[in-house]
Chains A and B, each alone.
Chain A
Amino acid sequence: MPAVKGEGMRGLAVFISDIRNCKSKESEVKRINKELANIRSKFKGDKTLDGYQKKKYVCKLLFIFLLGHDIDFGHMEAVNLLSSNKYTEKQIGYLFISVLVNETSELIQLVTENLKNDLGSRNPININLALHCIANIGSKAMAEALGSEVPKLLVSSDTIDQVKQSSSLCLLRLYRTQPEAIPKGEWQNRVIHLLNDQHMGVVTAASSLIHDLALTATDDYKGAVSLAVSRLSRIVTSSYTDLQDYTYYFVPAPWLAVKLLRLLQLFPPPDDPAVRGRLNECLETILNKAQEPPKSKKVQHSNSKNAVLFEAINLIIHHDSEPNLLVRACNQLGQFLQHRETNLRYLALESMCHLASSEFSREAVKKHLETVVNALKTERDVSVRQRAVDLLYAMCDKSNADEIVGEMLDYLESADYSIREEMVLKVAILSEKFAVDYTWYVDTILNLIRIAGDYVSEEVWYRVIQIVINREDVQGYAAKTVFEALQAPACHENMVKVGGYILGEFGNLIAGDPRSNPLVQFNLLHSKFHLCSPGTRGLLLSTYIKFINLFPEIKPTIQEVLKNDNQLRNADAELQQRAVEYLKLSVISSADILATVLEEMPPFPERESSLLAKLKKKTGEAGGTIDEKEPGKEKKEKKPQQLPTSIEINNVGESSTDEMAAAPPTLSMDLLGLDNTPASQPSVMSLFDTTAAPAAAPMNNTAAAPTNGAIFDVFDPTPAPGDVTSLTPGAEESFKKFICKNNGVLFESELLQIGVKSEFRANLGRLGLFYGNKTSYQFANFSAVVSTPETLQTALKVTTDQVGTVIEAGAQVQQMITIECLREFEETPILHVQFSASAAPEEIESVGSGVRQFINVKVPVMISHFFSGVAMTSDDFFNRWKQLSLPQQEAQKIFQATTSMDTEIDKGKLIGFGLTLLTDVDPNPDNFVGAGIIHTQESQIGCLLRLEPSKNAKMYRLTLRTSKQLVSQRLLELLLTQF
C-alpha cells in the first residue's frame, strides 16, 4: 500500500490514483480535463475557499503540470497561499511558485512582496521557506528587490545555523544572477570567517558562496586561503568518528573537503610557507589514504573517498609546482586506469589528460601509453573510449607520435561514428605537429582519407596541400604517393581532390617515369571526373589547365575534354565558366603567358593551423549548449564581405590570374584562416579575400622594399625631429578618438590640419595622413617622420613614405604609412612634424608665422586595430570564456560612465573597436558580449569581451579575456576611455 504521509490530502491521493488507473492516454486526458474544469469552477465560484481547499487544488494543478500538461490558471491562488499563516499552505504555495512561475510573470512582483515579508518574519522556518524559494528561482528582479536583505541575515549574530546555511546559498544565487544588486559592505569581510564556523553545515554552504565571490575577485578574498587550508587539514586528519553525522561512509565530510579543495583552486599556491606546508601535508594525507585498505566495501565509501582524491589531484595539477605530488598523483591515476570500476577508469583517463600538460608529470603519464591504448581497444563504453582518445592526444609528443598516431589510425577503422571526425582531426594535427619526416605525414593523411574519407573535413586536406606546397623536400614523394593512391578502383572523393591538386602542381616531378607519364596521370584523374561532385570537378578542371602548362604534349587531349559539351554547356555555371576560360586561355596565350599565369603556388605564410581552431570548435559543437537555438539556424561564421581596399588594388590586375593559379579558389581562402565561408561562390570571393596567400605575399614585399619607403633610423636622410619631442598638447585626446574608428582629424591648429584615413587587414595596416595647409602662405622645410620607441621595434614594423618639403598655401599633401604588426604591443609610434611657415608680408603678424613649428602626435595605431571580429555561438563563447579563466588572462574594471550610456552608441563603439557583437549569448540583453581575433605576425590572439552597463548606478563593468595578459590589459585601457 502506498502511504500518503503528511497532511493527507485525500482528494489529491484519490485523484492521483484515478490518473494511474487510466488505461489509455485519452482517458487520462479526459480525467485531467474534468479535474481542471472542476478546479476552475471552484476558483471562480462565489464561495470563498478555505486555505486547505486552495492548497489541495493548487497541489492538484502542480501534479497535472508535472505530468506534462500545461497549466494556465491557479497562479493567483498559489500566490495567495504565500500569505497564509498556516505553514503547510505557505509551503505548497512556494512549491507551486518555484515550479511554475517564471521570471517574466507579472505575478513576480507579488511573489517578491511575500518573500520580503517572510524574510522579515520572526519565525526562522518562514525565513527559510523564502530563502529556499529565492535560492531556487532567484531572478534579477528579486536580486534587485532583496539583494540587500540577504547579506544581513547571513552575518547577523542572531541568525540560527539553518538560516545561515540557506542564506549563504540564497545569496550565492542572487550574486550569480545579478552581482551588482548585492551591496558591498562589511559582510564581505566577515563572510570568509564562516569557514571557521562550528557548524559543519554552515561551512559547507558558505564555502560554495565564497568560491563564487572569490572567482571574480581573488585578491579581495585571499584571506580565505589560510582558513580553508586549516579547515581542510582538520577534516583530513580527523578520524571518521570525530565528525559524527558529517562522516559519510567512513569518509570525513567529503562534500566540504571537495568544496574547500575547489575553493583553493582559485588561488596560486599559498605564499606563506607554513600554510603551504600544511596544505601539502593535506594533499599527501589524501594521497596516502588512497593506498590504505578500504574501511568499507560499499561503493559509497570508495566513491566519496575518491571524490576527495580527484579534487586533490585537480588542485595539485592547478598548482603545478610540486613535482613529487604530481608524480604521485599520476601513479595513483595509473592504478585507477586498470580498476574494475568503469567510473574510475573514466575519471582517471580524464584527469590524466591534465597531468599530461605538466612538465613534471608528463613523463610519468607517458608510461601508461600501453594501458591507454588498451583501453581504446577494449573498453565497452564509448564515453570511456572517448576519454582514451583525448588522453592519447594529450600525451603525444615526438617520442611516441609514431605509435600513437598508428594506434589511432588502427582504431579509426572500427571507431564509433560519433567520435570519428574528432579523431581524424586529432590524427591530422598530431601527425603534422610531430612529423620528423614529412613523408610520414603525407602517408598518414592519405591513410586517413582512405580509412575515414567521409570524416576528413576540408581543413584537413587543405592543410596537407599547404604543407606539401611549403616543403619542397616532400613534393616529389607526395606526387608519387597520391598517384599510387589514386590507382585504387574506389577511392574517396577527398583523395581525388588532394590528388588533383598535388598532381596539378607537382605532377611534373614524376612524369619522367613512363608508368606515370603525363597522359597516364591525366587519364587516371579523368577516370574519376564523372563520379565527382561539381566542386571537385572544378578543381580537376584547374588541374587540367595546369597540365597544359606543365605538359604541352597532352594539350590537344585536354582541350578535347574542355571542349566537350559536358563541360562547355554544363548546367553548373562555375564549371561552364572554368571550361570556357581555360579553353580560351589555352588557345590564345603563348607558352610564356601560360607559364606566368599558372606558375607554381607561392609558399603559404606559416600561421596557426586552422585544424586546431576547427578542433576547438568541434569540441564545442559536440557539446553544444542547452540552448533553444537549432543548430541549423546558427549563423555561419563568416567575415563580413568587404570591398577591396587599396591593399589589394595593386593586385587587382593580377587577381584573375591568381584566382586561376590558386584553383580551387576556395583553397586560398580557407587554408590559413578561421574563415568558414561556404565554398559555393569560389571565384568571386577569392578576389576579395586578403587572407589569400597571393594577395598577402606582394604586400609583404612592398613593405620590405626600401626603395619607396623610408624606415626611420639613424641613417635616415630626413632631418631629425629636433629637440622638441614632447607631445603636443591635445595629442593624447585626439589619439583616443581613433580607438573606435579609423578615420578622423588627428591634429588641428590654425595653420595645419592632419587628417587620417586608415585601413587594417589581418596584421597589416595602411594609414593615409593628409597634411592640410590652412594658411594662405607656403610651408617650407616641411618634414614628417615617425619614430618608434625602442621597445616597440620588435612589435611593429613601420614604413613611412617621404613627403615633399613644401606645402603650398591651401594645399593638401598625402603621406602613406605602412604598418606590420609582428607581435602585441602597448606603446605608440610618434609622428614628428615640423615646418616653417614663411608668411606673406601682410600676414606677418598672424600667429605662428615665420616660426619653426614642431608638432608631435601619436600615430593612431593600436593593438585593437588588428582585430577581426569573430561570430560564435553561445556555447563556443562560453567554452572559450572558461578556457581563459586564469586570473592573468582577464582584465576587468568597474567604472563610472562618462557618457550617456546609450545602447546604440555603445554598440557602435564596440563594433568600431573591431569586435563582432554576439547576441543571445548573455542572458541579460543589456549586456554586450563580443569576440575577435588580433592578428600579429607571430600569433593570433583570441579575445572575448563583456561589457555590462548598469544604468541605475551609471556604471559599467568591462571584462576582457585573452590569452595574453598584456593584451587584456591594453585593450581594457583603450576601451575604458570610450565609455
Chain B
Amino acid sequence: MLQFMLLFSRQGKLRLQKWYVPYQDKLKKKVTRELISTVLTRKPKMCNFLEWRDLKVVYKRYASLYFCCAIEESDNELLTLEIIHRYVELLDKYFGSVCELDIIFNFEKAYFMLDELMIGGEVQETSKKNVLKAIQAQDLLQEDGNLDFVKLPPTGFSEKELLSRKLK
C-alpha cells in the first residue's frame, strides 16, 4: 500500500501532499522535511529507490517537480514509478501540457485527479480514458459553468517547464 505521496519543487517547496496513513501534523512535517532533503541531495544517475526507515521510497523528477511516494516492503517499486508516470500523464492531458504552475493554481484539481487514479493508497483505475471521463463528468457538474482562465503575470521560469518534457 502506498503510504503517502509528496510533490515538491527543485527548491524544496511542497506542492502537493497526500497521506493515506493517519500521521499527526507534526510528524507529517518532519517526514516531509526529511524526505525532501534526502531526495534533493541524490544525484541524477542514482537509482530511483531508497530504503527509508521501514519504508521504500520511490521518486522521480519531472522537469522542476519531484514526485515522491513511500510504499511498503512488499510493494512493487517499478510499478510505483509508473503510477507516478500515469499521474503525470493524466495531469498533462487534463491541463494540456502541464507545468508546476498549473498544479499550484489548481491544486484541488490535482487532488481530484489523484483520487480517481488511486484511493486509500491502492490503484483503483489505470485506464487513462476512464479517469479522464470521470473528471470530465465532474467538470460538467459545475453549476457556475465559469470556465474562464485567469490571466496572471508570468513568474519564475522553472515552474513553467513542462512536466511532459520527460514524457515525449
Asked if A345 is at the interface of the complex by the 8 Å CB criterion, the answer is yes
Count contacts on B: residues with CB < 8 A to the other chain.
Answer: 80
Report the minimum CB–CB distance from A387 to chain B (whole Å). 9
Chain A residues positioned under 8 Å from B95 (CB to CB): 3, 5
Asked if B92 is at the interface of the complex by the 8 Å CB criterion, the answer is no
Once A246-B126, A255-B126, A626-B31 are accepted as A-B contacts, the answer to whether A136 and B115 lie under 8 Å apart by CB is yes
Chain B residues positioned under 8 Å from A201 (CB to CB): 124-127, 130
Contact with B along A239-258 (1 / 0, CB 8 A): 00000111010000111101
**Chain B residue at smallest Cβ distance from A205:** B124
- A623 engages B141 (CB within 8 Å): no
- B47 engages A172 (CB within 8 Å): no
Once A172-B122, A204-B124, A878-B54 are accepted as A-B contacts, the answer to whether A345 and B47 lie under 8 Å apart by CB is yes
A5 to B108, CA, bound (A): 10
Contact with A along B128-168 (1 / 0, CB 8 A): 11100010011101111011111111110000000000000
- A169 engages B122 (CB within 8 Å): yes
**Chain B residue at smallest Cβ distance from A254:** B79
Which residue of the partner chain, among B30, B54, B101, B146, contacts A879 with CB atoms under 8 Å?
Answer: B54
**Chain A residue at smallest Cβ distance from B100:** A2
A205 to B101, CA, bound (A): 32
Which residue of the partner chain, among A3, A6, A255, contacts B139 with CB atoms under 8 Å?
Answer: A6
Which residue of the partner chain, among A21, A70, A383, contacts B155 with CB atoms under 8 Å?
Answer: A21
Asked if B10 is at the interface of the complex by the 8 Å CB criterion, the answer is no
- A383 engages B47 (CB within 8 Å): yes
- A7 engages B144 (CB within 8 Å): yes
A882 to B154, CA, bound (A): 51
Chain A residues positioned under 8 Å from B107 (CB to CB): 62-63, 66
A137 to B23, CA, bound (A): 11
- B76 engages A258 (CB within 8 Å): yes
**Chain B residue at smallest Cβ distance from A628:** B27
Contact with B along A5-17 (1 / 0, CB 8 A): 1111010011011
A208 to B20, CA, bound (A): 15
Report the minimum CB–CB distance from A294 to chain B (whole Å). 14
* Among listed A305-313, A393-401, A547-555, interface-contacting one: A305-313
Chain B residues positioned under 8 Å from A131 (CB to CB): 119
Once A63-B107, A201-B124, A626-B23 are accepted as A-B contacts, the answer to whether A2 and B101 lie under 8 Å apart by CB is yes
Report the minimum CB–CB distance from B22 to chain A (whole Å). 6
Chain A residues positioned under 8 Å from B127 (CB to CB): 200-201, 244-246
Asked if B63 is at the interface of the complex by the 8 Å CB criterion, the answer is no
Chain B residues positioned under 8 Å from A166 (CB to CB): 119, 124
Which residue of the partner chain, among A6, A62, A172, A342, contacts B45 with CB atoms under 8 Å?
Answer: A342
- A162 engages B134 (CB within 8 Å): yes
Report the minimum CB–CB distance from A615 to chain B (whole Å). 16
A380 to B78, CA, bound (A): 20
- B148 engages A8 (CB within 8 Å): yes
Chain A residues positioned under 8 Å from B139 (CB to CB): 6
Asked if A928 is at the interface of the complex by the 8 Å CB criterion, the answer is no
- A623 engages B45 (CB within 8 Å): no
Asked if A945 is at the interface of the complex by the 8 Å CB criterion, the answer is no
- A624 engages B53 (CB within 8 Å): yes
Q: Which of A190-207 contact B (CB under 8 A)?
A: 200-201, 204-205
A788 to B87, CA, bound (A): 66
Which residue of the partner chain, among A59, A87, A255, A625, contacts B123 with CB atoms under 8 Å?
Answer: A255
Report the minimum CB–CB distance from B140 to chain A (whole Å). 9
Chain B residues positioned under 8 Å from A624 (CB to CB): 53-54
Chain A residues positioned under 8 Å from B50 (CB to CB): 383
A21 to B94, CA, bound (A): 26
- A626 engages B53 (CB within 8 Å): yes
User: Besides the contacts A1-B152, A3-B95, A345-B47, what 16 more A-B pairs have beta carbons closer than 8 Å?
Assistant: A2-B150, A3-B96, A7-B146, A20-B155, A88-B138, A95-B111, A102-B24, A136-B119, A139-B22, A208-B122, A262-B76, A307-B82, A342-B46, A342-B47, A342-B48, A625-B53
Listed in ascending order, the chain B residues whose CB lies under 8 Å from chain A are 3, 14, 16-18, 20, 22-27, 29-31, 43, 45-51, 53-55, 73-74, 76-79, 81-82, 85-86, 94-96, 99, 101-102, 104-109, 111-112, 115, 119-120, 122-130, 134, 137-139, 141-144, 146-155
- 5 A-B pairs closest in CB distance: A135-B120, A307-B78, A135-B119, A342-B47, A307-B79
